[in-house]
Amino acid sequence: MTGLIVMEKTLYFIGGPMGAGKTAVSKVLLQQLPNAVMLDGDWCWVMDPFVVNEQTKTMVIGNIHHLLNAFIAEPDLKNIIFCWVMDEQTIIDTVLAGLTLENVALVNISLVPSVTKLTENITADVQNGIRTAEAIPAAIARLPKFAMVDSIKLDTTHLSPLEAAGKIRQLSTGR
């Protein structure tokens, strides 16, 4: 059919504050979507000591560009899942600017639980030694920032990771 553009791949951006369930939801999507790969942006700067400055930020974005472009270029991969906080539009724009997106559909989702649910999730992480208690106010402070991001907002307050992944699949034209 002339004029019809067929997207060969789908790139899922799964954003949200820490503790929103980005990694859990992304892992479910990884299992559900055919020919899928997942990248958690946090993996791109696992270092000790953990240093946040302009050099390390540039390095992390470069790492993300390199990996996502490699996944996009791989013919056998059809669904690419990228999860990271992405609480500012400039972060999303910076990541997208370094990607080759020809024939790639973007599904940009922000997971936005209630403050109560977010606090419960992070408290459980603190009890399991995954996060420190300081993460609670930091995550709550970031939550309103997602209203300013150009993404589909998915309220995950009453959704399991499996249910959230199902909603995301519905939002991405039933894939």
**Mean pLDDT value across residues 147-152:** 97
pLDDT the model gives residue 1: 46
Band of residue 4 on the pLDDT scale cut at 50, 70, 90: low
CA distances from 111 to 22, 60, 69, 118 (A): 7, 22, 24, 10
Q: Which sequence spans correspond to the domains of the chain?
A: 9-171
Q: Which CATH architecture has domain 9-171?
A: 3-Layer(aba) Sandwich (3.40)
All residues at 6 or more sequence positions from 153 whose CB lies less than 8 Å from its CB, including other chains: 109, 110, 112, 146, 147
pLDDT the model gives residue 94: 97
pLDDT the model gives residue 45: 85
Q: Quote the tokens at residue 119.
A: 């606090």
| Residue 114, helix vs strand vs coil | coil
- pLDDT, greater one: 173 or 85: 85
Mean of the per-residue pLDDT values of the chain: 93
**Mean pLDDT value across residues 140-165:** 97
pLDDT the model gives residue 111: 98
For residue range 123-143, list pLDDT tens digits in order. Answer: 999 999 989 999 999 999 999
Please determine, for residue 49, whether its predicted confidence score (pLDDT) is greater than 90. no
Report the percent of the chain where pLDDT is more than 70.
Answer: 94
Please determine, for residue 47, whether its predicted confidence score (pLDDT) is greater than 90. no
Please determine, for residue 54, whether its predicted confidence score (pLDDT) is greater than 90. yes
pLDDT the model gives residue 6: 59
Please determine, for residue 167, whether its predicted confidence score (pLDDT) is greater than 70. yes
Band of residue 51 on the pLDDT scale cut at 50, 70, 90: confident
In which residue are the tokens 């307050």 written? 157
For residue range 71-111, list pLDDT tens digits in order. Answer: 999 999 999 999 999 999 999 999 999 999 999 999 999 99
